[in-house]
Amino acid sequence: MATRSFDLVVIGGGSGGIATAVRAALHGARVAMLEPGALGGTCVNVGCVPKKAMWLAAELAEAQRVACQVGFDGKSGALDWNVFVRRRDAYIENIHASYRRRLAAVGVELVAEYGRMLAADRVGAGADEFLARHVVIATGSRPWRPPVPGAELGIDSDGFFDLRAAPRRVAVIGGGYIAVELAGVLHGLGSEVSQFVRARRLLQGFDEETADELANAMRAGGIELRRRQHVDAVSRGDDGYALTLGDGEVVRGFDELIWATGRHPHSRGFGLEDIGVQLDADGYVVTDEWQNTNVDSVHAVGDVTARLALTPVAIAAGRRLSDRLFGGKPQSRLDYENVPSVVFSHPPMATVGCSEEEARARHGESVRVFRTRFRPMRAALAEHGQQSFMKLVCAGADERVVGIHILGLGADEMLQGFAVALKAGARKCDFDDTVAIHPTSAEELVLMGEPGLAFVGAAD
């Protein structure tokens, strides 16, 4: 067994692990990264990147239909999945190649082996042993299925990317953002979709009113949304998948079944418990605000921790950790407050800051809510009813903007700049004093009137 010494060993080659390793190497650290699989982890291979590609395909399908409605000659056609998947996979392989070049350029040694903690400063990988001043656990998460009879049937969110055609009729189980996104993509590409949600609402943890607006839009678009429906068992027969619900109802005839019931941390099998690293009841690595575990010199970033499960969060946390450990910035850490995020639903939903519920819990009676509903120009020209919804949550005597929630066309692209404004402490009067860009949907965020009223936008 060969023994080698490094300043940093990173276990896991996903977005957070790569960002941590590259930043540390740029600071002059000697770094090894242990990853036996495809670089990029969940995000690049079975998450954000291929998901967004499929979302774009569904958006293009809708754009074809809208184009015909507004006067373009021709008819919309179905997606050739094989052609699209080849393009999607080529795009992902370009990302893999870019990562490999970047790691090589900064001197990170990539080892295609699983890592296992032997001690706080020692990691085993294949036949070798790595001594390390610091170790970062960045092993991510995996899809989870509930323990019900037949749970092994169907596919999960990873398996979705193996599809090569839109199923005729599909059941999506789950009410989180992954379930919502997959339901929207498949419906947009021609599937008949039924979504089964255990809770009374979609998207627990998001602003409730905005999530309800999304649910209304999904139903109006043709997705069957069944809330308060617990799936007790699954079977498969000649007529496809059958779901037995909590009230005894059996729903049959699904060509495909997708479990989108959450993800669990990939923390077992790396020797963490053997060296005393604390895991919580769900298996997440417990970290403080500096990404430290309870074991000196062992740190963790990304979805293996119980932090926000977002790729940019893992990247930002990893870079700041390396800045602190190797870059001479002892106060460097990620501020987990006011992180913007987007649900790539149909229509997309973007949010930053407090939900109305969180704001009222924090700020009490000082909270004022401004909202508007309108049809964006594309929807109005096509004469279909898809509305956009926007909401500002303000607090205090100065009406500081503490939450921004957007549902509708372009929400995913317009939030980033407004997130900067919120992070910088903008007030409602600052929004009011900003001249609108017309005609856009984004202008509605600076044109909202009295709190609590739902105005109809000019495009309607």
Confidence check: pLDDT of 375 > 50 = yes
The pLDDT, as a whole number, for residue 455 is 52
- Taking only the tens place, the pLDDT of each residue in 329-351 is 999 999 999 999 999 999 999 99
Burial (0-12, 13-18, 19+ Cβ within 10 Å), 171: buried
**Cβ 214 vs Cβ 180: under 8 Å:** yes
Give the pairing of strands 454-456 and 368-374. parallel
Percent of the chain with pLDDT over 70: 97
The pLDDT, as a whole number, for residue 454 is 55
Percent of the chain with pLDDT over 90: 92
- Taking only the tens place, the pLDDT of each residue in 32-80 is 999 999 999 999 999 999 999 999 999 999 999 999 989 998 777 899 9
- Taking only the tens place, the pLDDT of each residue in 225-260 is 999 999 999 999 999 999 999 999 999 999 999 999
The pLDDT, as a whole number, for residue 73 is 85
**Cβ 441 vs Cβ 407: under 8 Å:** no
Active-site residue numbers? 438
**Rounded CA gap, 43 and 50, in Å?**
8
**Rounded CA gap, 35 and 184, in Å?**
33
Burial (0-12, 13-18, 19+ Cβ within 10 Å), 109: middle
* Mean pLDDT over the full length of the chain: 95
CA neighbours within 13 Å on the CB side: how many for 421? 21
Instruction: Tell which residue, 331, 291, 295, has the closest CA to residue 138.
Output: 291
Confidence check: pLDDT of 385 > 70 = no
Decide: pTM greater than 0.85: yes
- Taking only the tens place, the pLDDT of each residue in 70-82 is 999 877 789 999 9
**Cβ 117 vs Cβ 274: under 8 Å:** yes
| SS3 at position 76 | coil
**Rounded CA gap, 428 and 421, in Å?**
11
Confidence check: pLDDT of 381 > 50 = yes
**Cβ 263 vs Cβ 305: under 8 Å:** no
Set out the domains of the chain in order of their start, with CATH numbers.
2-143+264-326 (3.50.50.60), 155-260 (3.50.50.60), 347-456 (3.30.390.30)
Please list, in sequence order, all residues whose beta carbon lies within 8 angstroms of the beta carbon of residue 376, skipping any fewer than 6 positions away.
386, 388, 408, 409, 410, 441, 457, 459
